[in-house]
Structure 1
């Protein structure tokens, strides 16, 4: 048990002492009622009413109509709330045109918990690194279509009755239920299309809903379905791993000895180059993907008696996400380690920012990766719940369910070729805000290919499963005392996250079959939105040509364990967690105030299975073409009491003050605990887990003043502070890993998670106001100042995910027939993680979106939504001098015809 006195304890005692002076009680339930709202104004009013009535810090988004959130994407909707940030990727896949992760108050997405109807949802990703080596606790919003959502609640302050797991807060996505609908029969359908201008593609979007309930309102069934396609084309400059520093052992620094003349050098030592940084790989990158999302939800409700409601719900969503990434690169990590730049190169703060390399016969100056992957991500759940009003003062709710998420890359079709032999290279960097100008000489066509290689024809699969059951009670007191009700309950969950790579294919003579097969060309206007001067007229093998050559010339080894097998134990691990929790929460109320005080006890047992690379056969439990491995098992136990207190003061009819204090906890990312160490032979860097990590414990203080100065009008200002104990940061250690190039253990620099304390202090300001009968404006701003005790390699003390400044501005118009909305969101730069051994950041970015709607008849409405209308370029960097990538995704337009019955 972890108990200690803090300022938090004092705050909770103060709240309790104040409660003793209460005069009378009032119900404190804040559940959304079943009144349906339509239109922009109706949804904003409903959201503000729910926020105002809540006894805790809450932000709410309510759908404007069935199947219509204020934005096309759930995460894009949430980014407009104060204190909410979004990101478009979960690992190193870079920036896309659709938000995929949500985080709160200047922290990483892993510290924000996402629930559906108050329960967990199994989630997995389509991107191969997120399926194995980089697996967080955040949920992929790509699997959650907005059409299913009734409202979204963002809990910024904790309550004992809320499920534990969100250090910085909890996002609860609420779906509809059959008995919520006003009419006996409801049928709706949406038929539309999405236009992606950069991909030059128009694709279908369909969704439908049918709801029936009987006249007595005792039985209902809701069926929803969706099918959505979308083409993506991302044009970029990528610098994988950023710049690297030349070491004393590199031949260009140490010199190349002449074997025929001891003491003499074929190339003289250049000790002046030691420690200077040069680009490892400078890439011209084209990524294309077809996304097909399909699934639906079925929900049943039955009231056998007036005091008992039973519910059964099932949800499934599958995303097919086949993708083709081509990266044509200057091979700096190859020739740059052995060849010195020509005289006249420029050095700024230890970085060679401008250099030319004269061509050397036999040296390859370009390397070209063509990677086609078949990929899927799936999420599903089934829940049963019962809501029983036992008597006038006692209510019980029971829920049990199971959920599963699966991300799978069954096959990867990869060609890596070298080109530009003897052609030389040059580059000029202009700082983090601009692409690097670069070029290589020699024959860059297929005829100039000097070597061929492949890797990755290996199954990668992630499975995320949870079974849970919970029972919650509410005891209401009607005696008029200060104590209005007590909430108490229990929850048990059995969660398992596993990464698998059990089989793959050994390549044969692929090059003979691939060479001379069908090719294509980069688009004619490639990277026009990125800028810079770098190769653009680039060829590539078509996906079918690449796939057929590899499949027809490889030996598939399914589950073969021996020394010639393709079972990659180094990519496998499992984390199992059993979570038992119990809570009690007292709810108080007086004439002009209300609040709650509670304790949540959490007991967690973790079993972690992973593998360690070894060189001694006597120590090896298993072996394959990926080396010898020793199984390792670890067990962790954590138990803790998490206190929380919320108090709300109605200072005036329109003025509300809220104060909250709590302790919250989040367990480390699954891969941070379990991942076996892995590395890249190209630059001898990689990552790995740390089973000894402790959970992150946050002590939180929050205060907010809200002025509801008119209907649909709000001005609020608040401040918060989070003290993070055992926050997860990353350090670099050296470990021995098996090299596929040398078939032996070698030393790699491994990025490893560690515990380090941190803190975040912030301010949130929000403003909403209708103007006249039809117009309105809204704006909010969040300032977050985060730091950690850990010092990164660049000397900074940044928290992962902390943007100091985030703001949103918007305006709307709506009358009986026509509606319009425009919004702009901007987020300042933030630290993502380590790329190789270097910290890397995403730069400031802003997105502009707009929507138009027209109600043609009572049964037909038409909407047009535009996303990323400013066509932003997402920029990533290693330092002020060193960029790492620039991404352009283009604009998207969604046209929908909505039919109602």
Structure 2
């Protein structure tokens, strides 16, 4: 039997001592349209792949959840069992957590090959975390999440691996040309102001963002050459409104209450997210035994974001307020006190990457030889000046005046503040504002990250019998080199205004015409005149700078700290080479029992290219002054002598480990399987701890240094699954897992000898660096329940219904930040005739944001998509994200207020 197809029986005879080959022609069940058959066929292939694997994994076709908003693979993966997701507040999935572990513990591959994904925002501090910003679903056939791994897979995946499988022409029959045209919209694009959007002046009434996809596949040369080519493009608008309440828990004579709101910050972020991809895959059957393949993928993304920030200072503890300092505030500030701060920020993050994987497979009789070489490169850079002709940021401008701020009484989770100016200069008038002297403009941002992976692998598989037991032996070799480069030259673009205009004239010239509405979060801001509060335009500021650059003085040329950031602190160049070899065997001990055991060896060599700074004593001896607390020169010429006067040095490290793995599968009957898996894996440290500049404090004789020889954390992983499979397509499964992590990273002080120092001038210094520490292991245990069931036995029209869902309980020894301890998914699908509808939802329980503590409140995320097929060639579809308009709320405990009783309350409200 093959899932998704009716059983097929064939009678044949085999002569004694001979072998014969029998072909089964599995006939697909009759369906109303080709489209519906394709969906079920994709699900059936995925489930069969899942069931046949010796690893405990979940496989789903890219069509399983319907049409996904903006084509983001993360929006697909978040509905799969055991998956938690993270975003920066705008609802766009950028990284995923598996089974309660942070994203750095998960490996992401493309057709089994490591995939590069740089992120200039998180930089070297999150170098091991894969970002889905640059990926698109357009070229993806299926996604496989392996909760346990075997010896033939890289060992850097304590939580598991996510393998993205691309489309292949040999998986289809005949020629197929697919074209899709779409548009996305946002509820805020339909407001009355028509000034929504990150561009200058907003979208001016434009309601939709364009999208589209085209795909071509065919088979040539009598079925020997298969080609799949595709292009996709999507653009989506989102808004994020974030309200932050600054809190004080120390009563004063003027404000004796246990809690007082000291400031209210309202942020409105307008984001336009673009993705485009191109893919080209070839499969060529050079002979009956040899298949040659070539996979090429290019991805590009752009995130255009404008963020307006308003901060209203109450002075509750210093001046007291009229009314309740939590719910009903009327400020009592002095006439000369600044009470409102206004700042605008513009960024454009451009990401692009490509992956090339030529491969081959040679199969003869009972053995297979396969291999590939690969190149994957990803670049992420911030460049609002070059991409959208806008400046990055202007220092905050300030104004005075008392105000009232009210919200719903006795609701500590709600932050729909109604803010009304009561006196002082009108907040809508640019002449009402003062600013720093001089006013600082950052014309651009210069953060850049680049990841490059190159590699090759070779695998040999041999099927035989050992004492009448069928055994598959597999062995292989792999080499990979990973390069990481990070720079941030943003401070080179800082300029102080030195032109002829007054501040009021300057601010009047650069007033923004965009609409900054906070209504979705419930907040409302009223100035004295009733006009919009003032906000500068980053586009007008850049034009003003380009028109008269002589009016702006660069600060990096005169400020030592900025020079240091540009030339020293923000630069990292790190590479990592890994050689691996493995061997494993899979045996069918009985008709029901199948076992696998293997071991993998990996040797890793690291190299960090770093600045070799001179000591503070050397700098003083050369005639330059030195800051006693930092050990750095206090002038730019002195800094150049200290950090750039000697050639860069290369610091190396190396380590190797053996990684055993084993798995067992017992089939009770045709539908019920038990799987048990074990593997040892590692989590490599972040590049930020492996490379960077040394900081030498001669006064206290302390050297703060990166550790290029830092060894990884080790994790022993156990998983158990009991699964019952249904025909035609479905399953129900119970899972248990445990990760036991040892060798956690920790900052420690070491002697020069312990650190391995060879510089005699630093022999008596203390070296502070990150190392792995012993002690008790950290255990992460959990349970998963998953269901995927077709209700085709119901009477029409309900026989088109299907349901899928999961529930996860995670029980770590210590809190894990940004990972939910409880998570559930629920999906309903309807496929009948030309109609397809999908309702997919994810529920996450409270999860820690920080361990201070603060946590995210529980959240429901509900998406909907539907399509109607007019003919075999034409289909219309729609999709909606965040259908129930959920908001994210960051909560802090009432126990922070030690002088009185206060309930848990909202610190940050994100809509």
TM range, smaller chain: 0.7 to 0.9
2:126 counterpart SS class:
coil
Q: Give CA-to-partner distance per residue, 1:400-420, whole Å, 9 cap, x none.
A: 111111111135521122323
Q: Give CA-to-partner distance per residue, 1:236-274, whole Å, 9 cap, x none.
A: 2146xx65788xxxxxx9xxxxxxxxxxxxxxxx79999
Distance apart, 1:692 and its partner CA: 7.0
Distance apart, 1:781 and its partner CA: 0.5
Distance apart, 1:176 and its partner CA: 1.3
Distance across 1 between alignment mates of 2:257 and 2:574: 40
**1:782 partnered with 2:782:** no
Describe the shift of the 1:273–1:643 C-alpha distance in structure 2 as closer, same or farther (beyond 3 A).
Answer: farther
- What does residue range 486-885 of structure 1 map to in structure 2 within 5 Å? 486-502=473-489, 504-509=492-497, 512=501, 514-520=506-512, 523=515, 526-531=517-522, 537-552=532-547, 554=549, 567-589=566-588, 590-609=590-609, 617-618=619-620, 624=636, 630=643, 634-674=651-691, 694-727=711-744, 757-771=777-791, 772=794, 773-788=799-814, 798-833=815-850, 838=852, 840-879=854-893, 881=904, 883-885=906-908
Of 177, 182, 194, the residue aligned with 1:187 is 177
Distance across 2 between alignment mates of 1:162 and 1:99: 26
- Whether the 8 Å CA contact 1:76–1:99 is kept in 2: the answer is yes
Distance apart, 1:423 and its partner CA: 3.8
2:860 counterpart SS class:
strand
TM-score calculated relative to the size of structure 1? 0.77
Describe the shift of the 1:801–1:423 C-alpha distance in structure 2 as closer, same or farther (beyond 3 A).
Answer: closer
Describe the shift of the 1:609–1:651 C-alpha distance in structure 2 as closer, same or farther (beyond 3 A).
Answer: same
Describe the shift of the 1:147–1:728 C-alpha distance in structure 2 as closer, same or farther (beyond 3 A).
Answer: farther
Distance across 2 between alignment mates of 1:730 and 1:809: 42
Distance apart, 1:302 and its partner CA: 2.3
1:496 counterpart SS class:
strand
Distance across 2 between alignment mates of 1:820 and 1:753: 52
Distance apart, 1:558 and its partner CA: 13
1:548 counterpart SS class:
helix
1:538 counterpart SS class:
coil
Q: Give CA-to-partner distance per residue, 1:654-706, whole Å, 9 cap, x none.
A: 1111111111112123335446799xxxxxxxx99776754222111111111
- What does residue range 369-518 of structure 1 map to in structure 2 within 5 Å? 369-389=343-363, 391-410=364-383, 411=385, 413-421=392-400, 423=402, 433-435=413-415, 437=417, 439=419, 442-443=424-425, 444-445=427-428, 446-452=430-436, 453-454=439-440, 456=442, 457-478=444-465, 481-482=468-469, 484-502=471-489, 504-509=492-497, 512=501, 514-518=506-510
More divergent stretch after superposition (860-869 vs 705-714): 705-714
- Whether the 8 Å CA contact 1:286–1:522 is kept in 2: the answer is no
- Whether the 8 Å CA contact 1:560–1:567 is kept in 2: the answer is no
Residue 265 (structure 1) aligns with? none
Distance across 2 between alignment mates of 1:232 and 1:177: 34
Residue 153 (structure 2) aligns with? 162
Distance across 2 between alignment mates of 1:328 and 1:496: 41
1:540 counterpart SS class:
coil
Residue 700 (structure 2) aligns with? none
Q: Which has the higher strand share?
A: 1
Distance apart, 1:156 and its partner CA: 0.4
1:162 counterpart SS class:
coil
1:368 counterpart SS class:
strand
Residue 188 (structure 2) aligns with? 198
- Whether the 8 Å CA contact 1:567–1:624 is kept in 2: the answer is no
**1:212 partnered with 2:226:** no
Number of corresponding residues: 776
Describe the shift of the 1:69–1:539 C-alpha distance in structure 2 as closer, same or farther (beyond 3 A).
Answer: closer
Distance across 1 between alignment mates of 2:146 and 2:212: 32
Residue 318 (structure 1) aligns with? 300
Distance across 1 between alignment mates of 2:691 and 2:534: 40
Distance apart, 1:716 and its partner CA: 1.1
Describe the shift of the 1:400–1:344 C-alpha distance in structure 2 as closer, same or farther (beyond 3 A).
Answer: same
Distance apart, 1:306 and its partner CA: 2.1
Distance apart, 1:374 and its partner CA: 2.8
Q: Give CA-to-partner distance per residue, 1:514-567, whole Å, 9 cap, x none.
A: 42125346648x333323566794332234213223444556979989969583
- Whether the 8 Å CA contact 1:359–1:424 is kept in 2: the answer is no
- Whether the 8 Å CA contact 2:392–2:445 is kept in 1: the answer is no
- Whether the 8 Å CA contact 1:720–1:762 is kept in 2: the answer is yes
1:75 counterpart SS class:
helix
> Which structure exhibits the higher relative contact order, with contacts defined as CA atoms closer than 8 Å and separated by 6 or more residues?
1
Of 178, 181, 197, the residue aligned with 2:169 is 178
- What does residue range 251-270 of structure 1 map to in structure 2 within 5 Å? none
Distance across 2 between alignment mates of 1:510 and 1:372: 22
1:330 counterpart SS class:
strand
Describe the shift of the 1:621–1:419 C-alpha distance in structure 2 as closer, same or farther (beyond 3 A).
Answer: closer
Q: Give CA-to-partner distance per residue, 1:744-787, whole Å, 9 cap, x none.
A: xxxxxx99998695221111011222222322222211111123
Distance across 1 between alignment mates of 2:348 and 2:680: 43
Distance apart, 1:827 and its partner CA: 0.8
**1:223 partnered with 2:216:** no
Distance across 2 between alignment mates of 1:331 and 1:636: 51
Residue 97 (structure 1) aligns with? 91
More divergent stretch after superposition (217-226 vs 143-152): 217-226
TM-score calculated relative to the size of structure 2? 0.77
Distance apart, 1:499 and its partner CA: 1.2
Describe the shift of the 1:492–1:55 C-alpha distance in structure 2 as closer, same or farther (beyond 3 A).
Answer: same
Residue 250 (structure 1) aligns with? none
- Whether the 8 Å CA contact 2:169–2:283 is kept in 1: the answer is yes
Describe the shift of the 1:481–1:863 C-alpha distance in structure 2 as closer, same or farther (beyond 3 A).
Answer: farther
Distance across 2 between alignment mates of 1:275 and 1:672: 44
More divergent stretch after superposition (378-387 vs 839-848): 839-848
2:121 counterpart SS class:
helix
Q: Give CA-to-partner distance per residue, 1:47-100, whole Å, 9 cap, x none.
A: 322222221201011133999679953222222222111122xxxxx3113222
* Unmatched segments (≥5 aa) in structure 2: 1-25, 29-34, 191-206, 386-390, 621-630, 696-703, 750-767, 895-903
Distance apart, 1:361 and its partner CA: 4.3
- Whether the 8 Å CA contact 2:440–2:497 is kept in 1: the answer is no
- Whether the 8 Å CA contact 1:71–1:77 is kept in 2: the answer is no
Q: Give CA-to-partner distance per residue, 1:132-159, whole Å, 9 cap, x none.
A: 3643422222221112110000000111
Distance across 2 between alignment mates of 1:157 and 1:465: 27
Describe the shift of the 1:75–1:845 C-alpha distance in structure 2 as closer, same or farther (beyond 3 A).
Answer: same
Of 141, 166, 175, the residue aligned with 1:150 is 141
Distance apart, 1:375 and its partner CA: 2.2
* Structure (1 or 2) with the larger CA radius of gyration: 2
Distance across 2 between alignment mates of 1:136 and 1:85: 19
- Whether the 8 Å CA contact 2:311–2:342 is kept in 1: the answer is yes
* Unmatched segments (≥5 aa) in structure 1: 1-32, 89-93, 247-252, 254-269, 679-686, 733-749, 789-797, 889-901
Describe the shift of the 1:197–1:728 C-alpha distance in structure 2 as closer, same or farther (beyond 3 A).
Answer: farther
